[in-house]
Structure 1
Amino acid sequence: MAYKRILLKLSGEALMGEQNYGIDSARLEQYAKDIKQIHDQGIEVAIVIGGGNIYRGVQAEKSGIDRVQGDYMGMLATVINAMAIQSTLEKHGMYTRLMSGIKMEAVCEPFIRRRAVRHLEKGRVVIFGAGIGNPYFTTDSTASLRAIEVEADVVLKGTRVDGVYTADPEKDPNATKFDNLTFDEVIKQGYNIMDMTAFTLCHENNVPIIVFDMNKKGNLQKLVSGEKLGTLIS
């Protein structure tokens, strides 16, 4: 295996599947099967998932809700998604732990770095919910920070496109895909991969990022086996 411990960043919007809102059970099942496949091979898996299928903090100001309040609402949306993926993973026979940046002991453990690392060492899938517990930080920033804290080998950013392109491939048929980029190239060209806080954290701590299509069955297995997929930023 190319990696021992990974941080998998999943998009909340991807959980909608073909729906316009909420959680698609078929998409959850596919994710769980893909994660189980690599977990059974001894890969230690940590997960951060967004909440955009339920609520995005950046929507708050448009609807007249205070930005800070909206960000906390978005964090709670990530916990709902985290609980859904936790339940599906456990249905497939994996042991999991859900750790939250906001205290809610009835459903999550509080995030404690040493405890999170120990869970991973024991073969449990660790899901990080509620962001880092503070407003103004995205789940991309959470993914970068948690990856650094638990000493993950790589951040795997699962999206609905198969890498980083010169333009939006869904809008521009002439967009070309990059196989490799450096952090400096991404900053210079202004490619919108992660927010700058998340990106800078990975850059300064030498944590590579791979952007890939998580919705294609088997891609996760190929990546951790060392196959070149998506776009590597290092």
Structure 2
Amino acid sequence: MTKSGAGGREGGRSLKERVKTARKRSLSSTLWLERQLNDPYVAQAKRDGYRSRAAYKLLEMDERYKLFAPGKHIVDLGAAPGGWSQIAATRVKSAEGKGKVVGIDLLDMEPIAGVEFTVMDFNEETAPERIKAMLGGGADGVMSDMAANATGHKQTDHLKIVALAELAVDFARDVLAPGGFFVAKVLQGGTEGQLLAALKRDFAQVRHVKPAASRADSAELYVLATGFRGG
């Protein structure tokens, strides 16, 4: 990522864009939209052809921890709109027939080269076997950028997102091949207890990761578990 010089100005004009508050738009919606318009990662994602700014979070994690390699089989939970699936497909070279990426979501998603997508609830009893059939075997990685709808109440939001991560871990345990990895979005202060205990039991190493692309004012954090021991 490159930064503009001259204190965020170019040709004497401020680069920062502001959004006028419309009568039908709430203050929170206006602030969100203004933040999106002024977010360098949002602009960079458009230039690079990624479907979301979240792509850069996964790129950074892969560069630091070498999660992907050509030929790997990856599952993307809550895949839509597809930013993480795009990165995985590029890194495992699935469009070239060297790996596989399966995306799952309750919502439909526009096709991505090298990604096999299905509308599915990953909590369904038959989901793990269906996904392994699509992969042709176990997965080398299960990733989840899912987040429960925020309530604005910190403790409630922590509980909801940890519960979602715990469900994702249960799914990962059923589909991962030995040595595989699991990565999921959590919130700072919200990964204690059963989630960490399960990950430390089932994986060789567990880390908390805060990618640079995560907004500094966000409690967003990722838990990365590598070296699945198998069941």
Larger radius of gyration: 2
Compute the TM-score of the two structures, normalised by the length of structure 2.
0.38
Highest RCO, 1 vs 2 (Cα 8 Å, sep ≥ 6):
1
Compute the TM-score of the two structures, normalised by the length of structure 1.
0.38
